[in-house]
Amino acid sequence: MAKRIDVSDLNIYYGNFLAVENVTVSIEPRSITALIGPSGCGKSTFLRSLNRMHEVIPGARVEGKVVMDGQDLYAPDVDPVDVRQHIGMVFQRPNPFPTMSIYDNVAAGIRLNNKKMKRADLDTLVERSLRGANLWNEVKDRLDRPGAGLSGGQQQRLCIARAIAIEPDVLLMDEPCSALDPISTLAIEDLMTELKERFTIVIVTHNMQQAARVSEQTGFFNLSGVGQPGRLIEFNSTEKIFSNPDEKATEDYISGRFG
Amino acid sequence: MTATRTPSDPAAGRTVRRRGDRVFAGSAKGAGILILVILAGVAAFLVAEALPAVTAPGEDIPGGEGLGAYIGPLLFGTLLAAVIALLVATPLAVAIALFIAYYAPRRLAQGLGYVVDLLAAIPSIVYGFWGIYWLAPRLVPFYEWLERNLGFVPFFAGPTSATGRTMLTAGLVLAVMILPIISAISREVFLQVPALHREAALALGATRWEMIRMAVLPYGRSGVIGGAMLGLGRALGETMAIALVLSVSGGITVNLISSGNPSTIAANVALEFPESSGVDVNTLIASGLALFVITFAVNMLARWIVNRRADFSGAN
């Protein structure tokens, strides 16, 4: 299931503004790749370009290639809707559908792709997804209650359950713990370590300890000034980035000298 | 600083309140009380003036068969016209609002929004003229077709009115009149759906329509119902357009395309009032009271519908 992604010479534009410049990187399957960097450096934009979510902003476009297992995601005949079915996403703030129950939230994506599924099969899938997100035991008695009634950390795990229910190849996480307390954060990090057995995970985080704790590979984004495009400064194994990075800027950032 | 207590500290007993706060709280409370006083005043007037008609012997009421027999058909006509209007206008208004909010290019959306809002500024008597002189004659062939092909449905039993001034025409004119308010309110609530929820749907691989069904419509549901209720309020109380368009004769019928239609309460008051005196006036006011009660009941019903799923409204 998990697939590798090869990005080559990717430029991301909002209208005429070049937001991210010239990114070339390979993301390994069944591993966690962390993207770190100061605010506004384009790491979220880059993440959203991997499943074409940045296109919801009018005028957004890319040059270059994003290839997942031989398929260019930006080829002219590729529908962004299909891309997003294979590359799931978890957002910065938990966003379960407020009008749906916990059950319906998890089933939402399944129902989009497979409308005729039997209730029993759906039950099984919902339970498996919630177990996969380490949430089953906490919600199994109130599946018909609104998802918005859960705590922030539970809501975020509900969103993860919703994302993994459609069995994507890749899971993108955009600062998934920035709105959570430390205990909920720990629960999500444990979950990520379990999920990387099945999915390719890319996570954007402001929390460098988090990147060091969970990821195998780390990319450092930076920009040379306001209005300048963001660039991928260094991409290396997490161990190397946090002990002996190749670039001076990376070392300055992880040692807290700026950002 | 450590020793001073903040003004909101409950242990401090009486809380300190700024004068600006007191003035604002007072005027807001005053406005709230004022609306209740006005409502109570209107209700009291209606009850007091309707009472003579309620107590009068049946033969003194116009028609000579008592108050119920007089108001019943009017009430039926009012509700029928309003329901037709609502059934036609609500889906159309929601579609317009969705188009403006999520499909139209920005410039077109703005222009279209203005045009729809402009519809609300046209006086209702103009809609009435439009209904009589433009819409009604053009609907006659359509009504004839309905009678020929769907005549077995009681709504379209005929015989078709030669002028087209039927209950269905009146309902359609009302639908055009209430379209702006419903679509304006729907548009606003659709635009307020948080980007977070819309992106959640898109990230699951939803198309734009699926995104609207998953995230936008459920979130906007209570707003759409609220808009529809405002539209319904206007349709129930609409006077001039109905008075002009509807050809009135006879009592309760569900036949929508014939020339025999029950009138509506507001139109009936407008048409009969200049000729009335004594108990007749009280009767008209009693019909107004009935409309007042109906509107109240409809609004309560709408509240109940909205609150039934309050947990899932997205407000929490």
CATH number of the domain where residue B248 is located: 1.10.3720.10
In a domain, A245, yes or no: yes
Residue of A nearest to B106 (CA): A58
Residue A184 has pLDDT above 70, yes or no: yes
Contact call for B221 and A100, based on CB within 8 A:
no
Torsion of Cα atoms, A73 then A77 then A81 then A85, to 10° = -50
Residue with tokens 């966690």: A32
> Can you give the residue range of the structural domain that contains A202?
5-95+170-254
pLDDT at B316: 46
Specify the pLDDT at position A259. 59
DSSP B215: I
A162 touches chain B (CB under 8 A): yes
Beta pairing partners, B149: none
Q: Which residues in chain B have Cβ-Cβ distances shorter than 8 Å to A113?
A: 205
Number of domains in chain B: 1
Residue A192 within a domain? yes
Tell me which chain B residues have a C-beta less than 8 angstroms from the C-beta of A108. 201, 204, 214
Considering the domain boundaries, does residue A51 fall inside one?
A: yes
Give the model's pLDDT for residue B1. 40
Q: Do B218 and A100 touch (CB under 8 A)?
A: yes
Q: Report which of residues B187 and A224 the model is more confident about.
A: B187
Strongest mean pLDDT among A128-142, A173-187, B80-94, B291-305: B80-94
Spatial separation of the C-alpha atoms in residues B297 and B295, rounded to whole Å: 5
In a 3-state reduction of DSSP, which class is residue A234?
A: strand
Alpha helices, H only, chain B = 19-55, 67-98, 106-119, 124-129, 136-150, 167-191, 195-203, 208-211, 217-237, 240-245, 265-272, 279-308
Report the relative pairing of strands A217-223 and A230-237 from DSSP bridges: antiparallel
Residue B30 lies in a domain: no
A178/B contact by beta carbon, under 8 A: no
A113 CB within 8 Å of a chain B CB:
yes
* A35's tokens: 């993207």
User: Quick check: is A177 in a domain?
Assistant: yes
On whether residue A175 sits in a domain, the answer given is yes
Lowest-confidence pick of A44-48, A111-115, B43-47, B213-217: A111-115
**Domain CATH for A46:** 3.40.50.300
| Burial state string for B256-273 with b = 16 or more CB within 10 A and e = fewer than 16 | bbbbebbbbbbbbbbbbe
| Cβ-Cβ contacts under 8 Å, A88 against chain B | 203-204
- Domain presence at residue A110: no
Number of domains in chain A: 1
Tell whether A148 lies on the interface with B, counting CB pairs under 8 A: yes
Among chain B residues, the shortest Cα distance to A84 is held by: B205
Mean pLDDT, consecutive 10-residue stretches, chain B (316 aa), reads 48 73 94 96 94 84 82 91 95 94 88 88 91 92 88 82 88 94 92 91 92 91 89 90 85 82 90 87 92 90 79 60
| Domain enclosing residue B87, as ranges | 56-312
Q: Residue B315 to residues A146, A153, B219, B240: CA-CA distances in angstroms?
A: 11, 19, 9, 39
pLDDT tens digits for range A54-77: 888 888 999 999 999 888 999 999
One-letter amino acid identity for A151?
A: S
Q: Residue B102 falls within a domain, yes or no?
A: yes
Q: CA separation (Å) from B272 to A6, B191, B281?
A: 80, 45, 9
- Measured in Å, how far apart are chain B's first and last C-alpha atoms? 36
- Closest CA–CA distance from residue A252 to any residue of chain B (Å): 34
Decide if A48 touches B, using CB distance below 8 A. no
Question: Nearest 5°: phi and psi at A231?
Answer: -135, 155
Among the partner-chain residues A56, A162, A166, the one whose CB lies closest to the CB of B199 is A56
- B116 assigned to some structural domain: yes
At residue B152, the pLDDT reads 85
Q: Smallest CA–CA separation between A64 and chain B, in Å? A: 22
* CB contact set of A164 (below 8 Å; sequence gap of 6+): A88, A129, A132, A133, A171, A195, A198, A199
Of B203, B214, B311, the CB nearest to A84: B203
Q: Do you find a cis peptide bond into B123, omega within 30 degrees of 0? A: no
In a domain, B141, yes or no: yes
Would residue B100 count as lying in a domain? yes
Q: Is B312–A100 a contact, with Cβ atoms under 8 angstroms apart?
A: yes
The reported pLDDT for the residue numbered A40 is 84
CB A210 within 8 A of CB A25: no
Please, are residues A214 and A220 in contact by the beta-carbon 8 Å criterion? no
Closest CA to A155 of A133, A175, A174, A172: A133
A156 part of a folded domain: no
* Binary contact (B196, A91; C-beta < 8 A): yes
Q: Cβ of B313 and A99 within 8 Å?
A: yes
Contact (Cβ atoms closer than 8 angstroms) between residue A169 and residue A2: yes
Which of A97, A125, A170 best tests the B interface by mutation, with the highest count of B CBs <10 A? A97
d(CA B175, CA A174): 46
Whether residue B3 is contained in a domain is answered as no
| Residues B99-120: tens digit of each pLDDT | 999 998 888 988 988 888 888 8
Tell me the two tokens of residue B177: 């009149």
* A-B contacts at Cβ under 8 angstroms: 83
Q: What is the overall mean pLDDT for chain A?
A: 90
Spatial distance between the Cα atoms of A200 and A75, rounded to a whole number of angstroms: 22
Tell me if B205 and A82 make a contact (CB, 8 A cut-off): yes
Residue of A nearest to B218 (CA): A99
DSSP assignment of A126-179, as one string? Answer: HHHHHHHTT-HHHHTT-TTSBGGGS-HHHHHHHHHHHHHHT--SEEEEESTTTT
Distance CA B158, CA B172 (A): 18
Sign of torsion over alpha carbons B119, B126, B248, B64 = positive
Q: What amino acid occupies position A160?
A: I
B209–chain A nearest CA distance, Å:
11
CB atoms within 10 A of CB B65: 12
Domain assignment present for A152? no
What ipTM does this complex have? 0.89
Taking an 8 Å cut-off on Cβ atoms, the answer to whether A96 and B200 are in contact is: yes
Question: B214 and A97 in contact by Cβ < 8 A?
Answer: yes
